[in-house]
């Protein structure tokens, strides 16, 4: 989660944390300013408005998520291995950054989302789409619309990551791997 420096980063990080805790509405700019250690007006040097700030937090997060997802991936690895790695990468990212997960969900279901014209918006799903399409083409996955598959996988990862956080269901490492297996098994052809 590192890449910007100084006040701008402080503002973004603070906003992310506060919004996770108090929601968009419950997070006044004055509070962001105070927690980030800057003056209220300073925020407006870096971001045009509260909306813009929130959208920037989204982009900032997205960049990190995409990076995390692709770690240790390589076209030369076996498909199933790649899938398992990708699944775990994303799961770990969301799981280790609960702020992101909750912010993300709040954002997607909010009117803010409409303000985003960023192509970054869904790089994750685009990447997944390609990966799924390849799996179908090469016979690793059952015949199905790759777009549908990638939404399912993404939903599955997020659901799993949220499980403990929101549903108070705690899972063991073993269960985690089982969940990954369930979605993989479901997507592969019946033997």
Partner DNA sequence: TATGAATGAGGATTCATTCAT
Partner DNA sequence: TATGAATGAATCCTCATTCAT
Smallest gap from Cβ 34 to DNA, in A, equals 9
Q: Which does 27 bind (CB under 5 to 8 A by kind): DNA, a copy of itself, none?
A: DNA
Between residues 36 and 86, which has the closer beta carbon with respect to DNA?
Answer: 36
Cα-based distances in Å from 54 to 106, 116, 153: 11, 10, 26
- The least CB distance from residue 172 to a copy of itself, in Å, is 8
Q: In the complex with a copy of itself, which residue's Cβ is closer, 68 or 141?
A: 141
Spatial CA neighbour of 70 closest among 131, 135, 150, 145 = 131
Give the 3-state secondary structure percentages of the chain, helix then strand then coil, rounded to 5.
75, 0, 25
Residue with smaller CB distance to a copy of itself, 117 or 190: 190
Which residues of this protein are in contact with DNA, per CB under 7 A? Answer: 6-7, 25-30, 38-42, 44-46, 49-51
Tokens representing residue 26 in the block = 């419950």
Q: How far is the CB of 11 from DNA (least distance, A)?
A: 10
Q: Environment class of residue 69 by beta-carbon count within 10 Å: exposed (0-12), middle (13-18) or buried (19+)? A: buried
Give the binding site for a copy of itself (CB under 8 A). 21-26, 102, 105-106, 108-111, 122, 125, 142, 144-145, 147-148, 151-152, 154-156, 158-160, 162-163, 166-167, 169, 171, 175, 178-179, 181-187, 189-191
Q: Which residues of 91-105 are buried (b: 16+ CB within 10 A; e: fewer)?
A: bbbbbebebbbbbbe
Residue whose CB is less far from a copy of itself, 40 or 71: 40
Six-digit token pair at 128?
């997944």
Asked if residue 159 lies in contact with residue 176, where contact means CB atoms within 8 angstroms, the answer is: no
Choosing among DNA, a copy of itself, none, which partner's interface includes residue 190 (Cβ < 5 to 8 Å by kind)?
Answer: a copy of itself
Q: 30 or 178: whose CB is closer to DNA?
A: 30
């Amino acid at each position: 989660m590192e890449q910007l420096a100084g006040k701008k980063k402080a503002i973004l990080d603070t906003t992310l944390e506060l919004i996770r805790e108090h929601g968009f509405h419950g997070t006044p700019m004055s509070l962001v300013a105070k927690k980030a250690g800057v003056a209220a007006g300073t925020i407006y040097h870096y971001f045009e408005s509260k909306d813009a700030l929130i959208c920037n937090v989204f982009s900032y997060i997205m960049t990190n998520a995409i990076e995390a997802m692709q770690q240790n991936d390589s076209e030369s690895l076996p498909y199933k291995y790649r899938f398992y790695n990708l699944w775990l990468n994303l799961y770990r990212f969301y799981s280790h950054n609960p702020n992101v997960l909750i912010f993300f969900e709040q954002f997607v279901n909010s009117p803010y989302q409409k303000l985003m014209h960023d192509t970054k918006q869904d790089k994750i799903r685009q990447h997944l789409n390609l990966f799924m399409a390849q799996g179908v083409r090469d016979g690793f996955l059952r015949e199905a619309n790759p777009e549908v598959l990638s939404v399912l996988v993404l939903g599955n990862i997020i659901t799993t990551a949220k499980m403990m956080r929101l549903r108070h269901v705690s899972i063991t490492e073993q269960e985690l791997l089982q969940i990954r297996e369930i979605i993989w098994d479901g997507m592969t052809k019946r033997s």
